[in-house]
Structure 1
């Protein structure tokens, strides 16, 4: 009796030609998946993208071999054919907020069926708007990190520039309000660690945020915190002397900038981190000043009026001398934040240093003993991995948490 191969030949067919419809379908699905992955990698697309009918075949015909890069023209044409850069690709839902030159809407992408945030920037309205928007776009398209909001798409028309961001359910201010301003101290630690991760990534790339505040830190239902609103950020070599000093929201603005310094670097963001840390653990802002003088007054009343010892060079500052502040003695921060432990107290003191160069960096802060209880694994995460990919890391129930449901429109229900 001959082998299987001989029997096939005797009947006039080879084993390669005898294939069940199931096997053919499996092979086609496999090649389609490989091709899909190929397109996603080459065009940097989201994994869950829905490619238009017949697009795979067209892309395979037009695209160069995988080891050769796509030309910019082909890449742009490919993205346009899929639906990127087109307003009709997104369904506008509710208005989330409005600023001087931009309106933000909740929307839905027809490409992925996911919710998105649509930031519409009016181009003819405000002279400074395009400049701020272009800065935000140019920075965000190069920042790929689990703790930085993702910019999915850019749509440009004559009257409007629309930035399409991933959608996150609330900001840190809303989260704290939902907790009745009493956050679980464990959750404070998880949020602070994520804030520092995103910031350390920016600072490694010489990007300063310059406008850190709870409203610019977005949080999704999983508890992932992401830096947003890079309109005031700059990508320049640091330190630099070219910035105006009117940049950071008053309550989170460091004293050196309040006194007119334009020579600042990454420490400008670290002061803001200290203020946000305090606000999360106490439920109230640390220095809620209404004017520059009032802000400095609040800072000095708690941290003590600076001296040459605590802030070298301060006595030569004309602005500082002109204010003629009373001589306040420093108060222990723990008196104002009784729930903070000794490691947390040490970290906040290192963040709230008068002299910018004495403030702890984001990279150093991540390795501070305060975070030891989160375990070693969180220190080894890749840039795009969520802290919650470590299975031991979970948010706990906040003690003041009200029972809140978020409807499809994003309105609160109780």
Structure 2
């Protein structure tokens, strides 16, 4: 019996019927709607906003949140499979869903009031309201505690001042989840983007995540009522809790990117004739392809166990760090190796490898750089903080 080259250990057999149904539905969406247009979107630097209604209708926005808020109530493993299949299309599509779900809807659910949940979550699940997540600042990067954006009380209102950088969905969003320093520590605020003093400036000249909207946010005496503050969290644990949710999805997503590159390179190497034999008949190509299959298999097993831990309520952030570090490194190495196997053809966006390789330069950087996650694991195993 021959094995599936993209699932050598039959990981799919470990999924429930419901999990396979979700994966298959998102895979069809990616095959039918994303892949036919995504190369052109990347070339044009355009996010395919026309796909948002179908993404919403499939229940992919806030998919793990309860049904009472208009969400799908899926498991962590199902959310991971969603991310994997979307990123098989493009990291920009998965990033849109990650930000909406894990960085915007999740904090409203976890840290917001019941009124805030009822007001925002059903409309966000339906794709009627898009969110963005304002944490990273121009000077901050991997040090979110060094936050300059401030929020001060003024009667029953808050007045926000500052700037945020590298914000996915910034120019698409109707609300921003903004984290700011207050006299009581870091707190989160739901800021409608049409509030006076709030501006978003799209970042251009990107060579990565070109089919995604990335922005800088500026807050100049932005006044919002106290009802817009997320009341149930203070300190860095608020935004870091959101990042753990988003990083979890990112541990699955790059597997999809790697599978897309690997599948394409595998077929190309069988068809491409050099020196009177297919490239796939050479030892060097087979060693490369075998190593890709090995690394994809290990990543698949890693995230499935991580998802089972999440669904059992046993997942801890350092486990997410290990998986993000491993799987992003796996995917970017495979994308680059596939580009090489494709030869000159690999530099065009008619093939997937160069687009995924460029996108993964962002994925391996955002939500914690590779070095940050290495140091998280270093701290875990030694008990010593080297940050």
Q: TM-score range by the shorter chain?
A: under 0.3
TM-score normalized by the length of structure 2: 0.28
With CA pairs under 8 Å and 6+ residues apart, which has the higher RCO, 1 or 2?
Answer: 2
- The structure whose residues are more often helix, as a share, is 2
Question: With structure 1 as the length reference, what TM-score do the two structures score?
Answer: 0.26
